[in-house]
A and B are shown apart, each in its own frame.
Chain A
Amino acid sequence: GQSLEQPSEVTAVEGAIVQINCTYQTSGFYGLSWYQQHDGGAPTFLSYNALDGLEETGRFSSFLSRSDSYGYLLLQELQMKDSASYFCAVRGTGRRALTFGSGTRLQVQP
C-alpha cells in the first residue's frame, strides 16, 4: 500500500518562507506531486518531482529525496492568498493511481 504523512497545520507571516514536509511509504515509486486547494475550491497542480533535487516554479519550489522517501514544498515571499491547504501525492510503480496525503493547512498572517 501507499501512505503519506504531512503536518496538519502550519502558520507563517506575510513575506516569510515556509516549508511543508511530506514523507511517504509506497511499494515502488514513480513521482511526488503537490496540489493547492483554497477553501471551497478545486485542487490545483503546483509541481511534480520524479528525480531527486529541487524544482523551482516562481515563488514555489519542490524538493525530492527518493532515498529518504521525503519531499517538501517551499513557499517564498508568502502572500495572504497563499493561505490554503497543500497536498502531497505519490504514484507508485505500475502507474498506480495517485495517493494523496491528508493535507497541510497553511495560514498566512499579516
Chain B
Amino acid sequence: KAGVTQTPRYLIKTRGQQVTLSCSPISGHRSVSWYQQTPGQGLQFLFEYFSETQRNKGNFPGRFSGRQFSNSRSEMNVSTLELGDSALYLCASSLDPTNEKLFFGSGTQLSVL
C-alpha cells in the first residue's frame, strides 16, 4: 500500500509569487491535514479536510488556503509568498477524523528567496 505522497519534494520561489502543493493520501483515507514545520517550532497546524469540507483551520493568514477533491487528494496554496513562509509543509492522512493515527508524507520543502 503506497504511503502519503507529497509533490513536489522541493520548491524554490521568490517573494510575491504563489505556490500550490499537492498531497495524495493513503488509499481509503478520507481525512487530510496540513502542517507547517520550521526548525525548533514543531508542527503548526494549517488545515484539516474531510469529505471535501474544511473541518478546522489554524491561525495562519488568509494567504494560506486549501481544498480537498472527491478522491480525497488535497492541495494547499500560498499566495504572495513571504520570506517567513520558508518551511517544510507536511501532509497527513487518516481513515477519518475520529482516527487518531496520522500517516505523514515526507513533505514539501519550500524555500522563499
Contact = CB atoms under 8 A, between A and B. Distances in A.
A44 B101 CA distance: 9
Interface in A13-57: 31, 33, 35, 41-45, 48, 50
The bracket for how many chain B residues form the interface is 20 to 34
* Max chain B Cβ within 10 angstroms of own Cβ: one of A35, A42, A102, A103: A42
Interface residues of A, number: 23
B40 interface: yes
Contacts of A71: none
A95 interface: yes
B101 A97 contact: no
A45 B101 contact: yes
B107 A42 contact: yes
A107 interface: no
B58 A97 contact: yes
B103 interface: yes
A47 B57 CA distance: 24
B35 A100 contact: yes
Interface string B6-50: 000000000000000000000000000101000011111100100
Interface string A73-110: 00000000000000101010001111111110000000
Interface of A: 8, 31, 33, 35, 41-45, 48, 50, 87, 89, 91, 95-103
